[in-house]
Amino acid sequence: MMKLYDTASKAHKIFNPAKSVGIYVCGITPYDSAHLGHIFTFMTYDLIQRRLEDTGHEVKMVRNITDVDEPIYKKAAQLHIDYRELASQEIKRFETVMTALDFRPLFVQPKASEYIYQIVDAVKILFSHGFAYRVEEDIYFDVSKDPKFGEFSNLPEGLAVKFMQKRGGDPYREGKRSPMDFLLWKGITDPNDPAAWDTDIGHGRPGWHIECSVMSYTLLDTPFDLHGGGNDLIFPHHECEIAQTRAIRHTDLAQHWLHVAPIIYLGEKMSKSLGNMIFVEDLLKSYSPAAIRLSLMHYDYREGGEWVPDLLDESTNLLDKLNHSFSHSTPEAASDLLECIRSAIDDDLDTHTVIHLLEDFCEDNNTSRSSKDVAQAKAYVDKCRGLLGI
């Protein structure tokens, strides 16, 4: 059985879902191609998916695309192209990388732009339950109506305000009832704005948080098994998702919350403005997908860390040795390795230990085997490869 850290209870919890497992992961905003930090995040959930499938579960993995969001419009305007064109180019680049890295299939990859009318319905429900109010043409969620708001992230107020401002919010907007109130709907008055819809609640577009609430609870039964994303989404994004869902559906959104720390480079989180982004499509020109995956397994998902480019060569060497050892392994050795990898993954995705197991396997395993053992050994080896995607 898997044991995974749960952000909500701030403790490790047994993750023991029913046969069909619903997982929702916040995906990319398609305005800059996915960098190594994104891939590290998504690989964490891919590893969970692989292990669940290994134990006979059917995994409904939903990873959305936030194609309605302010940074896309800004970038599209800089490039003098339509935001939809920018989004579709970037989604294509992202999917090419994900395919090359052999990610397990998604159940659905919803785009926010495809859920506008469901989002409008959600905002109408929030109005009818007394959780929504207007400031000029915009609509906000009134956090004072939800006594549990803030419990999930549990931040001191000063820090919450800071995070909100840094992460797309507007704590100091005039007319709001509280700095923590967050945008549900942005009214658009410019008739030439391409990203606006005519709806019952006005001409405009949804806020970021309500998009994920609606996509996730529309596609998966609530509370679904696990919700994830980068750890910078804990507040405000996931706190707001939880509050909205409570207000609309009177239920928790997810039973287990798992967040991934960033891979940083040159001492900072990868970002366009700092020019320290590593793109996987560039790495793929020189390294195999398996080498990239193994390199990232050197990092603990809850700690992340500074990217060490040498890991790519080290991982390539390890793979060479591993391929040799795999093709000479006895069934017993391969079976032992498989069981140890499974236990390491079940122990809160302990990929450090997985790397050590692979290294030790290459050192130890040079035993002879009979010809009848070949197929049996290969079956175990294929399971090891399948679990790790290498």
Catalog residues that contact Zn ion under the rule CB under 5 A: 26, 212
User: Is the CB of 269 or the CB of 298 nearer to Zn ion?
Assistant: 269
Q: Go through the chain and tell me how many residues it has.
A: 390
Q: Are 312 and 287 in contact (CB under 8 A)?
A: yes
Angle at 280 between CA 258 and CA 308, to 5 degrees: 75
Chain-centre distance of CA 20, in angstroms? 19
Three-state DSSP state, 135: strand
CA distance 18 to 70: 38
User: Is the CB of 183 or the CB of 390 nearer to Zn ion?
Assistant: 183
Q: How far is the CB of 132 from Zn ion (least distance, A)?
A: 19
Q: Are 227 and 62 in contact (CB under 8 A)?
A: no
Residue with tokens 């995956």: 293
User: Is the CB of 213 or the CB of 335 nearer to Zn ion?
Assistant: 213
Q: Are 276 and 268 in contact (CB under 8 A)?
A: yes
User: Is the CB of 212 or the CB of 354 nearer to Zn ion?
Assistant: 212
Quickly list DSSP for 207-253: -HHHHHHHHHHHHSPSSBSEEEEEGGGIIIIIHHHHHHHHHHHSS-S
Q: What six digits make up the tokens of 193?
A: 């704005």
User: Is the CB of 26 or the CB of 283 nearer to Zn ion?
Assistant: 26
Q: How far is the CB of 336 from Zn ion (least distance, A)?
A: 40
Quickly list DSSP for 242-300: HHHHHHHHSS-SBS-EEEEPPEEETTEE--TTTT---BHHHHTTTS-HHHHHHHHTTS-
Residue with tokens 């209870």: 9
Q: How far is the CB of 191 from Zn ion (least distance, A)?
A: 30
User: Is the CB of 51 or the CB of 209 nearer to Zn ion?
Assistant: 209
CA distance 171 to 164: 7
Q: Are 265 and 307 in contact (CB under 8 A)?
A: yes
What's phi and psi for 14, nearest 5 deg? Answer: -70, 130
Three-state DSSP state, 309: coil
Q: How far is the CB of 235 from Zn ion (least distance, A)?
A: 13
User: Is the CB of 26 or the CB of 201 nearer to Zn ion?
Assistant: 26
Q: How far is the CB of 26 from Zn ion (least distance, A)?
A: 3
104 DSSP 8-state letter = P
Q: Are 135 and 175 in contact (CB under 8 A)?
A: yes
Q: Are 37 and 269 in contact (CB under 8 A)?
A: yes
Q: How far is the CB of 254 from Zn ion (least distance, A)?
A: 12
Q: How far is the CB of 342 from Zn ion (least distance, A)?
A: 30
Q: How far is the CB of 347 from Zn ion (least distance, A)?
A: 28
User: Is the CB of 62 or the CB of 132 nearer to Zn ion?
Assistant: 62
User: Is the CB of 202 or the CB of 207 nearer to Zn ion?
Assistant: 207
